[in-house]
Structures are given as structure tokens and as C-alpha cells.
Amino acid sequence: MSDESLRAWLVDAVAGYLELPPSQVGTEVALRSLGFDSVHAMGLCVDIEERWGVLVEPTLAWDFPTIDTIVTHLAPQIDRT
């Protein structure tokens, strides 16, 4: 798994939750500023667990507020799975 494939997957997932085209989801933009809320964050955690097999805290999107910071946090865990 590459960082880029994880990043692309996260962009698509966030875009789906926010009903935006993926091109409008910047990887360095705070998810909150795009309208990402706690309901979206919970869904994203479930999706990450189902897709990548990594258990994540429900506060993931607040602790790591951009897609790039989420990738940096998750990539080492996914590589080990």
C-alpha cells in the first residue's frame, strides 16, 4: 500500500461524505473547513476499519485534521497489517 493510494482513497471517501467532487477536497485543507462533522468522522473511522483493517479512534479527524496528516498517521499502521 502506498501513501498515494491511501490518500486517493481518503479523498474519495471524504468527497463522498460531503457530496463534493474529489477535485474540491484538498489534502492540506482542514476537513472541518469543508463541512466535515462528527457524523462524517464516525463513518470515516468505520470505513477505514473495514477497508484497511486498522482500528482508529473516533477522534481521528480532529486529532489529524487534514487528509495529509491522516495519511502520515495511518500509513505505518496499514503497512504493518
Joined together, the cell numbers standing for residue 3 give 501513501
Instruction: Determine the pLDDT at residue 49.
Output: 95
Look up the CATH number of the domain holding residue 65.
Answer: 1.10.1200.10
Q: What is the CA radius of gyration of the chain?
A: 11
Instruction: Determine the pLDDT at residue 78.
Output: 86
- Check whether 80 has a pLDDT greater than 70: no
Total domain count for the chain? 1
Instruction: Determine the pLDDT at residue 31.
Output: 96
pTM here?
0.92
φ, ψ of residue 6 in degrees (nearest 5): -65, -45
Query: For 55-72, what is the mean pLDDT?
Result: 96
Note the pLDDT tens digit of each residue in 18-54: 999 999 999 999 999 999 999 999 999 999 999 999 9
Residue-range definition of the domain harbouring residue 58: 3-79
